Every structure is written in structure tokens, then in C-alpha cells.
């Protein structure tokens, strides 16, 4: 990796158990605008999106800190008295609508915001969602065959005794994907039956993994039969040749929107607004479609590889209609109970 002072290269560096991405685009740092962005996008998504941003914003330095959804939530609140970033980018709406977070945001309507339907925008203009993701299972075909296991089709299937020790899923306390799974199950089944189900599922869980993508990777590599993850990770791993099938649970896929916002405490608001404008630009939207099963902006088209992996053209047909306000309001109580009764 080249040194960050080289204006034509980007570097990736470790930072506090996260990945920080630094870009020095076009002009020298001495003459370029600079912003710090916090995100929960996956590392490969960040790299692809910022490659496009580099071409469109050659005079903007973008320093990015990536943390999982839960860890980023804790960090932003811990820094509330002295925010260290200018922009929140690609972060779960369920976390964004926390009133404590809302107090730290400044309303901004970026150029091109009309491409985003009202249902994906905060009524007060403090955030707008451009992308999203939904739950899916990564099922290893070879492990199923070797152990003579049936293909699961639903959340209900995962509690069957034959899958004991063969299921891994994200830890909802740290992973946005993990929390959307728990929240959607409780919304689908109701609180009492939902918790009964989660306890039955826990009996078959081999591990709760911190990341939303790693359960799919573990299943893809044959460590377990089933990794509860998100659809795009399954699609990516199928494209890379792993022997897995993507299964969207028949009850409906829990989902999350990923939103962007301007920090009220930013000292670089003009540059931050330029970046937020870019996040709804045509080039940004076209790139989102290479990585995201949910893109809220008009324009672009679902890639063929998504359809080949089993994603329907109308993804709304398989998505559970999430109550994001309920997910946010009950998050602390749900996670406290989950950690008390199920975390290990």
C-alpha cells in the first residue's frame, strides 16, 4: 500500500478494531477540502463507492471510519459532546432515528433528493436513505449433502433438531443485520411467540458472530451448513464460486435501510454537503446497484447476477414490511433481554 501523501492512491489502515479508509483525490491535501465520514457499509462496498466518488469529487479528501452498526451507535453517542465526524453515511435507519442521534443532526436536502421517495426520507429532512439490505440464509450445498440434511426454506425450519450446531447468525448487539433479524422475528410472530422461537433457535445456534457478513462466509467455507446473513453477501459468494444456495425465508425477509446525514457539529459543512449531494448522484446510484438489493433512488437496474442467484425482480414481494420506529424504540429493551437470556 502506498503512503497516504501520494495524491493519486488510496490507503486502507486499521483503526481501533475497525477499518479506516483515507482518500487523497486529485489535489494535494494542502489544497483539498477534507471531511470525516462514519459508516457501517461493508469494506468492499466502501472501496467501490469511494472509487466512484474519487472520479466525481477529485478535490475532496474523504476519511472514512467503518464500524459495525451497534459499535458505531455507541461511538457517536460517546462523542456527542464533541463529534469527530462530518457525515454519517450508509447507517441503519433503525439507529438513525434514535432521538439522541437526531439531536446531533442538521437538516439538509441534497441536490437530487427528488430521486428519493418521501417514504425513504426523514420528515424533518435530517436524513435520507439511499440503500438497504435484507436477511437471507447462505446454505452450503456440500455440507447438506454430506450430512444428509434437507434444504431449509424458512425461519421455522432452523429450529428443527437436524440442524443443531449447524447454524450461525450475527450477534444483534453489534450487527445491524443481526438486530434486523431479531426485530423482524418479533414483529412477525409477536413478542411472546417471538421470544419462544428465539429460544428454540438458540438451541441450534453454534455461534453468534459479530459481523453480518461473516456467518455467510463461514457457511460458504463449509464450517457450518447455514449462515444467517444478508442477501448481497450470499450473491457475492455465489458469484465467487462458493457451493451455496441463497434462501430468502418464506415468512418474509427482515430488512434495513441505510441512511445518510449531516452532523450539526461539522466544521466542514460545505464539503460535507458536496459529499451528500454525490450520494444521490447518477454515478452513485449506478454503483449502488452493483452491491445492494435495495436501492431507493430512481434510475439504475438490478444486475443479472442478482436474478441468477435467486433474487426476484420485485424484491418487495419477499420483504417483511418493517416497523422501523418500533425497531428503534424497542432496541435497547430487546437487546438487553437478548443479551441476558441468549448471548454467549
Are both 310 and 261 inside the same structural domain?
A: no
C-alpha cell at 42: 461493508
DSSP 8-state assignment for residue 67: -
**Does 23 share its domain with 126?**
yes
CATH of the domain at 105: 3.40.190.10
Determine the distance from the C-alpha atom of residue 13 to the mean position of all C-alpha atoms in its chain, rounded to a whole number: 21
User: What pLDDT sits at residue 226?
Assistant: 98
215, 239, 253: which is closest to 307 by C-alpha? Answer: 239
User: Which pLDDT value is given to residue 23?
Assistant: 43
The DSSP element (H or E) to which 189 belongs, if any, is helix 176-189
- 163 within some domain: yes
Task: State pLDDT tens for residues 111-157.
Answer: 999 999 898 999 999 999 999 999 999 999 999 999 999 999 999 99
pLDDT of residue 10: 35
Residue 42 lies in a domain: yes
Q: Are residues 65 and 201 in the same domain?
A: no
At 255, which helix (H) or strand (E)?
strand 255-263
How many C-beta neighbours within 10 Å does residue 206 have? 18
Per-residue confidence (pLDDT) for residue 176, from 0 to 100: 83
161 within some domain:
yes
**Which stretches of the chain score pLDDT less than 70?**
1-32
Q: For residue 157, tell me if it sits in a domain.
A: yes
Whether residues 197 and 325 share a domain: the answer is yes
Q: How far apart are CA 184 and CA 168, in angstroms?
A: 17
Q: Is residue 5 part of a domain?
A: no
Question: Is residue 105 domain-shared with residue 251, that is, in the same domain?
Answer: no
Q: Is residue 148 part of a domain?
A: yes
Distances (CA, A) of 212 to 136, 168, 218: 11, 10, 11
Q: Are residues 242 and 318 in the same domain?
A: yes
Q: What pLDDT, on a 0 to 100 scale, did the predictor assign at position 32? A: 64
Which among 229, 270, 335, 263 is positioned nearest to 79, based on CA atoms?
Answer: 263
187 and 332 in a single domain? The answer is yes
Whether residues 205 and 317 share a domain: the answer is: yes
Specify the pLDDT at position 4. 33
Containing structural domain, residue 176? 133-255+306-341
Domain shared by 39 and 99, yes or no: yes
Question: Per the structure, how many domains does the chain have?
Answer: 2
Co-location of 326 and 208 in the same domain: yes
Indicate whether 178 and 272 sit together in one domain: no
- The answer to the question of residue 214 being in a domain is yes
Could you tell me where the DSSP H helices lie in 36-116? Answer: 43-56, 69-78, 93-96, 99-102
Residue 275, in any domain of the structure: yes
In a shared domain, residues 138 and 238: yes
Amino acid at each position: 500500500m502506498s503512503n497516504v501523501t501520494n495524491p493519486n492512491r488510496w490507503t486502507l489502515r486499521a483503526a481501533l478494531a475497525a477499518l479506516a479508509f483515507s482518500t487523497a483525490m486529485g489535489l494535494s491535501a494542502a489544497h483539498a477540502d477534507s471531511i470525516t465520514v462514519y459508516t457501517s457499509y461493508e469494506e468492499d462496498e466502501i472501496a467501490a463507492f469511494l472509487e466512484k466518488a474519487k472520479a466525481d469529487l477529485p478535490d475532496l479528501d474523504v476519511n472514512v471510519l467503518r464500524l459495525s452498526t451497534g459499535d458505531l451507535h455507541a461511538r457517536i453517542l460517546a462523542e456527542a459532546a464533541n463529534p469527530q465526524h462530518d457525515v454519517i453515511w450508509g447507517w441503519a435507519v433503525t439507529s438513525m432515528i434514535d432521538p439522541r442521534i437526531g439531536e446531533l443532526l442538521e437538516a439538509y436536502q441534497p441536490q437530487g433528493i427528488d430521486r428519493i421517495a418521501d417514504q425513504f426520507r426523514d420528515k424533518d429532512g435530517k436524513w435520507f436513505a439511499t440503500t438497504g439490505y435484507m436477511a437471507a440464509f447462505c446454505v452450503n450445498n456440500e455440507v447438506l449433502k454430506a450430512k444428509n440434511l434437507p434444504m431449509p426454506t424458512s425461519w421455522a425450519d432452523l429450529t428443527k433438531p437436524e440442524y443443531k450446531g449447524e447454524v450461525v447468525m450475527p450477534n444483534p448487539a453489534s450487527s445491524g443485520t443481526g438486530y434486523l433479524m431479531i426485530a423482524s422475528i418479533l414483529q412477525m410472530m409477536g413478542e411472546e411467540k417471538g421470544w419462544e422461537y428465539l429460544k428454540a433457535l438458540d438451541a441450534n445456534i453454534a455461534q453468534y458472530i459479530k459481523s453480518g457478513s461473516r456467518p455467510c462466509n463461514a457457511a460458504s467455507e463449509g464450517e457450518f451448513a447455514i449462515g444467517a446473513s444478508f442477501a448481497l453477501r450470499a450473491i457475492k459468494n455465489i458469484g465467487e464460486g462458493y457451493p451455496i444456495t441463497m434462501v430468502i425465508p418464506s415468512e418474509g425477509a427482515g430488512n434495513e435501510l441505510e441512511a445518510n446525514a449531516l452532523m450539526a457539529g461539522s466544521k466542514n459543512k460545505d464539503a460535507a454537503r458536496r459529499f451528500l449531494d454525490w450520494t444521490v448522484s447518477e454515478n452513485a446510484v449506478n454503483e449502488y446497484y452493483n452491491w445492494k438489493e435495495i436501492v431507493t433512488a430512481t434510475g439504475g437496474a438490478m444486475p443479472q447476477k442478482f436474478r441468477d442467484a435467486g433474487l426476484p425482480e420485485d424484491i418487495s414481494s419477499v420483504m417483511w414490511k418493517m416497523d422501523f420506529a418500533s425497531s428503534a424504540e424497542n432496541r435497547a429493551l430487546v437487546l438487553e433481554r437478548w443479551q441476558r437470556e441468549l448471548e454467549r
